Amino acid sequence: MLIINLLGLLLIALIVWWFWLYKSPTAQLDSGQITINVNDGVYDPAHIRVPAGQPARLGFLRKDPSPCASVVVFKDFDISEELPLNQIKEVALQPMQPGRYSFTCQMQMYRGELIVE
């Protein structure tokens, strides 16, 4: 029983580390632009480094027909764009202050992050 309990606690620790503490690898913009695939519940890449004070263009290519994926929301910038299926939708961002800004679907299940530095 002790082993089972320890395993359980270990599992909880693993969940906390994997989903909350782990620092994901990040992708860079290529000449101010990047294309993000929207498929199977994730943005790929989901963590994107953006130089501060420069505009950025994010192209979203949605391949997931689920309605969950159909809108991308940048709540810090009051941007909310509908993503057509199998077409690239470009979201243009004004130059940003350093910081972390999340982008999500309407239900916050698809999650991505802009790391502006």
Partner 1 sequence: MHEAKHHTEHCHHQAADSASGASGSTHELLIEGAGCASCVGKIESALQKVPGVTQASMNFAQRTVSVSGNVSDQSLIAAVEAAGYGAKVAASESTADLLDEKEQADFAYYKRLMREMTIALGLGVPLMLYGLFIGEMTVNTTGERIGWLLVGLATLAVMLFSGRHFYVGAWKSLVNHNANMDTLIALGTGTAWLYSMVVVFFPQVVPEMARHVYFEATAMIIGLINLGLALEIRARGRTSEAIKRLIGLQPKTARVLRDGQEVDIPIEQVMQGDQVRVRPGEKIPVDGRVVEGHSSVDESMLTGEPMPVEKTADDEVVGGTLNRSGTLLFKATRVGKDTALARIISMVKQAQNSKPPIGRLADVISGYFVPAIMIIAVVGALVWLNVGPEPTVAFAVVSATTVLIIACPCALGLATPMSVMVGVGKAAEAGVLIRNGEALQTASRITAMILDKTGTITEGTPKVTEIVPVDSTDEAEVLRLAATLEQGSEHPLAQSIVESAKERELSLGSVERFNAIAGHGVEGSVEGRALLFGNEKLMHDRGITIDSYLERAQSMAAQAQTPMYLAADNRLLALIAVADPIKQDSVAAIKRLQKDGIRVVMLTGDNRETAKAVAEQVGIKEVFAEVLPEDKSKKVAELQQQGEIVGMTGDGINDAPALALADVGFAIGTGTDVAIESADVTLMRGSLHGLADAIAVSRATLRNIRQNLFGAFIYNAAGVPVAAGLLYPFVGVLLSPVIAGAAMAFSSLTVVSNANRLRLFKPQEH
Those residues whose C-beta lies under 8 Å from the C-beta of residue 67, and which sit 6 or more positions away, are none
Distances (CA, A) of 1 to 4, 6, 46, 48, 106: 5, 9, 40, 44, 43
CB of 65 to partner 1, least distance (A): 4
Which CB atom, from 52 or from 88, has the smaller least distance to partner 1? 88
**With contacts defined by CB under 8 A, how many residues of the chain interact with partner 1?**
50
Residues 36-75 that bind partner 1 (CB under 8 A): 39-42, 44, 46, 57, 59, 61, 65-68, 70-71, 73, 75
CB of 73 to partner 1, least distance (A): 7
Q: How many residues does the chain have?
A: 117
Contact 54, 21 (CB under 8 A): no
What does the angle CA 42 – CA 47 – CA 86 come to, to the nearest 5 degrees? 40
Which CB atom, from 49 or from 57, has the smaller least distance to partner 1? 57
What does the angle CA 47 – CA 51 – CA 54 come to, to the nearest 5 degrees? 120
In the complex, the residues that contact partner 1 under the rule CB under 8 A are: 1, 4-5, 8, 11-12, 15-16, 18-20, 22, 24, 35, 39-42, 44, 46, 57, 59, 61, 65-68, 70-71, 73, 75, 78, 80-82, 84-88, 90, 92, 104-111
